[in-house]
Each structure stands twice: as structure tokens, then as C-alpha cells.
A = this chain, B = another copy of it.
Amino acid sequence: MRLLLFLFFFIGTAALAEDSILGFDSAGSQAQQALEVEFDSHLDADDMDAWLRELSSAPHHVGSTRGLEVVEFVAAKFRSWGYDTEIAEYEVLFPSPRIRELELVYPSRFTASLTEDSLAEDPSTSNIDDLLPPYNAFSIDGDVEGELVFVNYGTPDDYEILDRYGISVDGKIVIARYGGSWRGIKPKLAGEKGAIGTIIYSDPEDDGYGAGDTYPQGPFKHESAVQRGSVMDMPTYPGDVLTPFVGATADAERLAIADATTITRIPVLPISYRDALPLLEAMGGEVVPAQWRGGLPITYHLGPGPARVRMKLEFNWDMVTAYNVIATMAGSEYPDEWVIRGNHHDGWNHGAADPISGLVALMSEARALGELAAAGKGPRRTVIYAAWDSEEQGLIGSTEWVEHHAAELDQHAVAYINTDGNSRGFVNIGGSHVLEKMANEVMRAVVDPQTGVSVAARRRARLEVNGDQAVRAELKNRSDMRISPLGSGSDYTPFLQHLGIASLNIGFGGESSGGSYHTLYDTYEHYSKYRDPGMSYGVALAKVAGRVTMRLAYASRLPFEFTALADNISLYIDQIEELADNMREETLETNARIESGVYNLALDPTRTLGPPTPKPEVPYFNFAPLKNALAELESEASSYASWVQGGAAATAQENNLLYTSERELTRDDGLPGRPWFTHHIYAPGFYTGYGVKTIPGVREAIEQRQYELVAAEIEVAADVIRAMAARVRQLAAESRLHDK
């Protein structure tokens, strides 16, 4: 207690009520905050714990019997809390394994078990009747045999190193470790480079014994554990592979499977480190670079070979029904303005952490909001709670629903608030920067269960201690913390990046790392022991996501704000200029060194590592259009911000202009080579997968050295920024008109 008093004194109190919050006038701010306290009183950790235990008691993937039971359980709850609840069904392609074989055939024989051990200490791990065995969804079928090449994480940088060793993966089977990029990038790049198969394993250094005690002694990866996961080419388009752009209703037009470009070109299989050890141990060739070493007790070699493996994969390419639970509470004043709050319900296995820990927070919020509504304090806008199916295979349930309802959503959707797995630690909010100010107000309003300060103060403390110099310097000069831009990896993607609906993704974490992700060991037992004992961070998540949802649903003037957007875009433009400058300098310098021959002198002539290959020099780009557009946005945003200070109510027209503003950042023809992604400020990286690329058209053209695209992409990006500036000008005009 002494410690906490001390902290309150020095940190500043975690004063949780503010005089004024964005979107409300002074009286409204007080009322809203009182309502939120009432909301909190309906949140119940025991409920969440009971639901978590129930919903993660057995495997419940899309198409499974248990999956439908989960849907019905959740739908029944929503109905019981007063929601108009429907189950939206889509018919989607779902490959599940029929044959999985992996064998070392030379220089010795070893057959991979491809099976996870059931553990006496965790009864759930024996409840595996409906278990999907380890596999990567949307791997193509294949029966291949070839020499192994170790490709580290299998990123573009890793292939540059292999090139320097003179190693081609053409005709080989690559073995890559999980991490360093989203898993789907590994077979994508390997396939582009001519490999005939990809094995992905979890190195014990990353989330096994190297990281900490392994399950069940600790939370880290059991030697038999395998991370499942989709390898669908989501950076091209997510969702059902047969129905891009349209909802996968029963009568939708469908591609032939052979024409679905998001299925991998080559077969891919995930394995445990126990299965990987004999394969890696049998490899020869050069010793890997120091940074490529993993935690197995062997010397890692690049190959190729002499180890040869045979891998045979066949899948059931079934059509199954994906069930989204859609629970609606109509708004009392603005029923046509929809605040959407979602979390998926399907798991790869038991899915305690992923996704049930997030889902139970959402359910708890929905119940609390139902209680408020029952007491006559329901939302002014319509709130839609969604529990998505088949997120794991590629954001399928959410994407199909969004594609199916695109026109209505374009018109009605105010914002989309996403959660997914949750655990003990620090709050993390990512998403549209028009919501950054509101997100910060919410983070300041919720108390961290372990320390008693606000979750904002705790997050700030972590940044102060762990952040680099630049981050720490910025913290001193910026009262709000930046929220992170979103790439992909959960159900916000179709909302944000396909339709331009302002979105946030919210979760806690960072103090419960482990190795259960997408394995058999993501169970209630694991979760409740290691991830969030007592569900206190489940409650904290419900408080944060609940406040965000409610402020959007109750505000007089929607809590969108544009100076933070301008500030973040400014940062991204600076980053891209710096990227180009650094690439230019590095390219020049490296090319000069290659040309001068110093590499040949510096490198060991008895080894095969050679100099890098010269790269095309980086021209200077005209960033002026971006900067001019930004200047316009900055000016409009700042004048609008001063205008609306004090929180006068907005007209319906103003609110419409506010919530549809994010649409200005999209363009119908999308990003180069991937028209499904229409947002020109945020996208998942084409070669990083989940990792975000901001101002992606420009950034990726530079990164991929497609210099001829840069000018046009700068124009498009400048155009969306100017359009946003125009929108804010229009808002200010509307606001002045209305005030007069």
C-alpha cells in the first residue's frame, strides 16, 4: 500500500474523470462518465471465467460440431440480453488435412510425428476428438521430395543472404522458422523463388525453452507443439478464396479452386521443434550466419542437403458454413448510425486465449450495455456486436459479411472496434488516427488492475522505460500517446482497409508471453494459469473497449479528431523520406564497395559467402505533393479542432461527415497489384503480411525498388490527404453554418 501511495504521488493521480471528453459538452461529459461507471458495475470476471471455460472446453473450428454449439451459446446469450440476434451464414471453402506425411529419406530415415502430446497436467489436451491436426490452411496439395535448404525466417532479406552464399532454393524444400514475418510470406516467397515445398517450425529459441519454462512447467512451447495457421495470401485479399469482393452467400458466383490466387503455389507444413531437430541435424553445407542460429543443440547449416525429405499433403477441399453471430441493439436517436464491435469465435483448437479471451470481454460488454438499455439508458446509435467465424483461416467470416453488406456499411458504419486474444499486461490500441484522441481519453479513464494507475499511465511508463531515445523524447512533448497503425491479422481488415471504416483494435498483453498460440496447448488450463489469472485483464479490456464503443454510440458529436491524423501522417511522410534517403545512401555505398572489390578482399576465400549484388540506385523523389497536401490537412484540422472545442452538439449531417471521413482515404482501384485493399494510408505489407505499411503505395514502391511507380503513388496518396482536408473544411463550414 505504501508503494502505491508513493506512486500516486509521483506519477500524478490516475484521476479517472475528466472535465470534458471528446464528443460531449460539459454536462454530457459528466453524464457519460457516470454511465461508464455504471457500465463497469455490470462487468463480471466470474462470468467471463465461466464463459471462457465453457467455450474453450473443446476444439471449435469452422465447420465443426462444437463450433456451431459455440455460435448457439453466444447467440443465445445475446438474445437473453435483449439483442436482435441473427446468425449470418456463408458458404466458404475450408481445406482440412486428409494426408500429412513428412519423412527424412536421406542420409538417414526419420518420420515426423506431426502430433502434439496430450498432457496429464492439462485435461483439455486429451479432449481432442474434433481436433484439427497441425497444418497450414490453404497450402496446396502436393507430394514432393527434395533437399532441404535452411532459410531462417524466409524473408526477402534472408534470401539476399542465401544469394550471397550462391544458394538457390529452386527445386528444393525450404525449412523456415516461425517469426520474422507473417507465416504466409514464407511459402509465398519460397514459391516465387522456385522451391517445391516449405516446412515451418517453431525454434525453441523464439518461444520454446529458450524463452522460458515450457508447458506444463511454464507457459512456453512444449517440444511437440505446432503453431497452426493460415497461409492464404491475405495481403492480396483475405476472406473466402473463391469469392473475392463479394459475400460468399449460397448463390454467390465462385472462382474455380484452381483460379484462386490466394492459395499457395507450393505445399507447406508446420512442425514442432522435436520433429525439426532430426531434419536440421542431418543438414550440411555452410554454417548459418550467427543471427540465423536457433536454440537447438546442434550446429545449424544452410544446406542444400544432404538431408532430403519427402512431404506429402492432401486436403479435403470442402465447402462448409461459416456462422457469424450478429447482435443488434438499435440506437434510440440515430438508428442508422452503426457502431460495430467484433471478435471472432472460432479457434484453431480449444482457443482459450485466441479468441475466447477477447470474446468473453465482448460478451461481458454486451451484457452490461443490455443492462443499461433495460434501465432506459440505451445507446443513441445502433450498436452491433459481432462474433465472427473462420477468422483463423483468413478473416473469412468478417470479410464475407463486410463484402456482403458493403453498401449498407459504407452508408451506416460509424466505426469498427475489434478485439482478439487478450492477456495480462499493457493496453495496446491500434487503428485509425481520427480516433486517437478519444482512445487516449479512454486509456486515461480505465484503472490498471495490478498497479492502480490508469492503463494510459502504465503504458506510458513502459514506453519511458523500454522505448528508444526518440520515443522517450516524444513522450515529453506529446500528451497523447500515438496509437499504432494497423496492418492485418484480425477482423478489422475488411472494415478498415476494404471499406474505409474507421477502426480500432484493442488488447492487453506483454506480461504473459508464452508458446501456446495456435497449438493444442491454448487451453483454459494454460490461460487461467499463465495468461490472465482471475480475468482481471478481461475486465480491463471490457472497460476500455466498452468505453470506446459507448463514446461512439452516445456522443453528441462523434469523437473523431483530425490533428492527430495529420500528425501521424506527417511522421509517416518523414519516415518514407528517410527510408528513401537511407536506401539511396546505402545503395550507393554498397554498390561502390562491390565495384571497388573490397568484398572480395574482406571475405574468407575458403568460404562460399560472396559479395552482395549491386542494386539499382535510388533516385530523388518529389515528396512535395504529399507535403503540400499534409500542410492543407494540418491547417484544416487545427482550425476545426479549435472550432469544436467545448463540444457543441453536431447535426446529423456533421456526424455523417465525421464518420464517413475515413472513406476519403480510400480509392476504388486500390493498391498496385491488390485492388481489394483500397486504403491508402494503412495496409498489411505485401512481403511482411501482418506488419503494417503506412502510405503503402508509396512506401512499398520504394522498398521494392519499383521507382517508376513512386510518382503516381505519391499523387494518389496526396490526393486522399487533400480529400480528407477538403472533408474537414466542409465539416468546419457545416459547423459554422449550424452555429450561426
Contacts and interface: CB of A to CB of B under 8 A. Distances in A.
Interface string A590-606: 00010111111111111
A511 B601 CA distance: 12
Contact of A458 (B448, B458, B595, B601): B601
B511 A604 contact: yes
A7 B597 contact: yes
A98 interface: no
A599 B465 contact: yes
A288 B123 CA distance: 30
Given A213-B287, A601-B457, A601-B462, A595 B297 contact: no
B451 A10 contact: no
B601 A204 contact: no
B511 A606 contact: yes
A596 B287 contact: no
Contacts of A348: none
B450 A605 contact: yes
A293 interface: yes
B299 A209 contact: yes
A605 to B, nearest CB: 5
Contacts of A298: 209
Interface string A412-455: 00000000000001000000000000000000000010110100
Given A10-B596, A11-B596, A287-B212, A601 B295 contact: no
A161 interface: no
A267 B323 CA distance: 69
Contacts of A460: 598
A204 B298 CA distance: 9
Contacts of A593: 464-465
A349 interface: no
Nearest to A217: B299
A461 interface: yes
A212 B295 CA distance: 13
Contact of A299 (B214, B461, B597, B598): B214
B602 A458 contact: yes
Contacts of A6: 597
Interface in A8-24: 10-11
A295 B290 CA distance: 12
Nearest to A595: B10
Interface string A64-87: 000000000000000000000000
Contacts of A7: 597, 600-601
A214 B297 CA distance: 12
B601 A453 contact: yes
On chain A, which size bracket covers the interface? 35 or more
A648 B213 CA distance: 72
A585 to B, nearest CB: 10
A218 interface: yes
A132 interface: no
Nearest to A214: B299
A142 B212 CA distance: 34
A606 B460 CA distance: 19
Interface string A383-397: 000000000000000
A144 to B, nearest CB: 29
Contact of A464 (B209, B602, B605): B602
Contacts of A220: 299
A115 to B, nearest CB: 21
A466 interface: yes
Contacts of A604: 425, 511
A451 B3 contact: no
Contacts of A204: 297
Given A212-B287, A299-B210, A299-B212, A602 B466 contact: yes
Nearest to A288: B212
B462 A602 contact: yes
Interface in A697-723: none
Contact of A598 (B295, B450, B461): B461
B295 A464 contact: no
A287 B211 CA distance: 8
Contacts of A589: 472
A218 B602 contact: no
A506 to B, nearest CB: 20
Contacts of A602: 458, 461-462, 464-466
A436 to B, nearest CB: 22
A292 to B, nearest CB: 11
A296 interface: yes
Interface string A576-594: 0000000000000100010
Nearest to A590: B465
A289 to B, nearest CB: 11
Contact of A461 (B450, B461, B595, B601): B601
B11 A597 contact: yes
Contacts of A212: 287, 299
A511 B606 CA distance: 9
B464 A598 contact: yes
Contacts of A451: 600-601, 605
Contact of A297 (B10, B297, B453, B605): B297
Contacts of A466: 602
Given A7-B600, A11-B601, A596-B11, A297 B458 contact: no
Interface string A543-572: 000000000000000000000000000000
Contacts of A297: 204, 209, 295-297
Interface in A457-511: 457-458, 460-462, 464-466, 472, 511
A16 to B, nearest CB: 16
A458 B602 CA distance: 6
A599 B290 CA distance: 33
Interface centre among A464, A465, A593, A602 (most CB of B within 10 A): A602
A425 B220 CA distance: 42
Contacts of A603: 465
Contact of A465 (B11, B287, B472, B598): B598
A587 to B, nearest CB: 15
Given A293-B210, A298-B209, A465-B602, A597 B10 contact: yes
8 contacts: A11-B596, A211-B287, A211-B290, A212-B287, A214-B299, A451-B601, A464-B602, A511-B606
Interface of A: 3, 6-7, 10-11, 204-205, 209-214, 218, 220, 287, 290, 293, 295-299, 425, 448, 450-451, 453, 457-458, 460-462, 464-466, 472, 511, 589, 593, 595-606
Given A451-B600, A472-B589, 11 more contacts: A10-B595, A11-B596, A11-B597, A204-B297, A209-B299, A213-B299, A214-B299, A453-B601, A460-B598, A461-B597, A465-B603
Q: Which 3 A-B pairs have the closest CB atoms?
A: A461-B601, A461-B598, A465-B602
